[in-house]
Amino acid sequence: MPTGHDHELDRALADPIGLIADLVADVEKDLDTETIWAVVAAIAGGRAKSRRLADALATLVLALPRRPVRPPDQRLGHG
């Protein structure tokens, strides 16, 4: 039975830019989709580089414990 990791690895190959954009959007709720896609497309490079980046980010995200994302002012100790 495929795991979430298997799905993300498949997606890293099939749609690396989309996967990276979705991972960023999950964390950066205030950014609009078009901005995320534009930045990811600009920095991700060619197909091989974007696949490696998507795979690395998906692996990292799946390895991190899930916890609530705090607003920026609370991250800096202002809240």
Tens digits of residue pLDDT in 48-64: 999 999 999 888 876 66
With beta carbons less than 8 A apart as the criterion, state whether 25 and 33 touch: yes
Within a domain: residue 76?
no
Alpha carbon 53 to its chain centroid, in Å, reads 9
Within a domain: residue 70?
no
Tokens 């039975």, residue located: 1
Within a domain: residue 12?
yes
Within a domain: residue 75?
no
Q: What is the rounded distance in angstroms from the CA atom of residue 18 to the CA atom of residue 59?
A: 15
Higher-confidence residue of 6 and 59: namely 59
Question: For residue 69, what are the contacts with CB-CB under 8 A and spacing of at least 6?
Answer: 27, 29
Within a domain: residue 79?
no
Range of the domain at 32: 4-62
pTM over 0.75: no
Q: Which amino acid is at 64?
A: L
Q: Which amino acid is at 11?
A: R
